[in-house]
Structure formats: C-alpha cells, structure tokens
Homo-oligomer: A and B are copies of this chain.
Amino acid sequence: MADIVLCECFARDGLQHEPVFVPTALKIELIDMFTAAGFPRIEATSYSHPGQVPAFRDASDVLAGINMRPGTFYKATCPNLRAVDRALANTAVDRGASEFSLLVSATESHTARNLHTNRAKQWQNVADMCARAGGLVRLVGVISVAFGCPFEGKVDQGEVIDDVAHFVELGARHITLGDTTGLATPRTVATLFKRLTEEVPDAVPIAHFHDTRGTGLANCLAALDAGCTHFDSSFGGVGGHPAEIEYGTGYTGNVATEDLFNLFEEIGVSTGLNPDLVLAASRRCEAILGRQLRSSVARAGYGMKLMERHHV
C-alpha cells in the first residue's frame, strides 16, 4: 500500500510546450509505460482547442489507444465548456479520461495575462464545467500562482484557501496548488498545507511545484511533512510554465519524477512505483524528446534503498 499518490504529468504538462509534435503512437506507448510503472494518476492529454494547442489535437485518439488499468486515474485538461463536451463525448465507464482538470489563477493579473479573462468570469466558466461534468468524472481544480505571482508578488493564503473551498463546493475535492513561477518556499508551503488540512478538511490538496529556483524537492518534502499526500511531477522535469519565454525569468519546469520518487523512497515513503520501470520510462522520455532532460537521478542512479531494489 502506497503512502502517497504521484501523478505523472509528462504526457500533458510535459508535452504542452514542446516545439515538436509527439506522434500519437509514442504518447500511447509512454502512458502505457507510466501505467505499468504504477502511477495511480496520469495526466494523459488536454482538450484545449486543437488549433491553439496542436500538441493535443489527438486527445481522443490517445485516450482510446492507451491500456487503462482499473483504479488508475487518467486526466484530461479542460479549459472551457466546449472542451468538457468534447471530452465527455469520448468518455464512458471503461474509456476516456477519468479526471478533468479545471483551472483558475489566484490573482487578477495572472488571470488576465494567462487566461485572458477576469477571475469572476473564470469562476463562472469553472462552475459551468463542473455542472456539466460533475458525477460523470472526477473533477480536479487547479489554482495557479498559488504561492506567489510574477506580476503581483505575494499571494494572500486566505484567498487561496477560499478558492480551494470554492472548488470543493463545486464538486472538485481534489485541488492542485500550483507554484507557477517557483516562488514557494518550504515555509510558505508548510503553512498553506497545514491551513488547508484544518480549514478545508474535505479537500484533497495536490502539490505541484516548479523547480525554478532549485527548491522543488525541498517544497515537496515540506508539503509531505505538512500532511500532503498527492504530488505532481514529470519525467525529466519537462513542462511547467514557459516563463523563460513569457517573462524571461529562466527555467520554470516541473519537479523531476525520477528525483521525487527517489527522495520519497529513500526516506521510507512508499510510492507504490516499480523502480526498474520508472527508470525505463525515464530513458524512453529522453529518447523520444531526443535530448538529456533535467533529472539528476537519471544520471546518478538511485540512492541506497532503491539501489537494492533496482535490477536493470
């Protein structure tokens, strides 16, 4: 029995900003490797407009092609009601996405820049999507810039907690707290996750940190110690916010799955993943993108405990 729930984000968050289209067959191969490695949650694709995000123009083909393991959740990102309708048209008990994720930003400035709307309208959009999809799939709320905003700086934790409560009211109990530009610190992480446990006990918070300033793993550990059980990461740290393009502020990619898996297992936190298949998936992600990615463990190998369980 695993102590925590890791979500592998490579196939959606990871590929969203890649300049090259990854063929559908390779996406399916990768997601099947993630399933085999034991990830209980997998970001599979996005129902963003195919013209705007062509990387996922094959969303339904990917979902139709993968081998779904019962009990594993496959997530599709849905930015609007049209996306929800497209996703639902491809969803049944035994196929399609089993989670839809729905996004808000914690600040007005980031909402304007990133979502081209305001928070009130985006919450209405989210409410409409929840009404349409609620009861059919598991809903996952996402709050970006939850730990700090590149435009407004500090973000009030009380307002983030209100957003979490709002998602829960709308039927989305799982809520991803996104550190979009890497401004979280282990202290702000500890405070927010502790407060969430106390103030919104019905919520299941998901930690989603970007490694912008090297603190990704330290923040995950702070969240773990504050009671968080759900974590997002992607192989090789691929994906995250393209701030290097938008704001010129350096890499803001995801925490590398290989490194997070190693950290947790080495401190005795069971992830339920198979160490051989994790490294096999890591190698395949690098091969498919054709470059060395940002995992330290992919280069150095596992620490002492995993080394004993690693056979390949």
| Cβ contact within 8 Å between A299 and B215 | no
The answer for the CA separation of A216 and B296 in the assembled complex, in Å, is 11
Query: Could you tell me the distance in whole angstroms from the C-beta of A282 to the nearest C-beta in chain B?
Result: 13
* This chain's copy number in the assembly: 2
- Per the 8 Å Cβ criterion, residues 76-111 of A in contact with B are none
Find chain B residues with CB under 8 A from A244 CB. 299
- In the complex, whether A148 has a CB less than 8 A from a CB of chain B is yes
Residue A48 CB within 8 A of the other chain: no
Q: Which residues of B contact A263 (CB under 8 A)?
A: 185-186, 213-215, 218
- Judge if A221 is at the interface, Cβ distance under 8 Å: yes
Closest Cβ neighbor of A253 among chain B residues: B296
CB within 8 Å of B: which of A208-224? 211-218, 221
Which residues in B have their C-beta under 8 angstroms from that of A249?
299-301
Q: Which B residues are in CB contact (< 8 Å) with A295?
A: 214
Question: A295 to B215, alpha carbons, bound, how many Å?
Answer: 11
Write out the residue numbers on chain B whose beta carbons fall within 8 Å of the beta carbon of A186: 221, 263, 267
Give me the 6 closest cross-chain CB pairs, A-B, nearest first: A250-B299, A250-B300, A214-B259, A214-B296, A218-B218, A187-B267
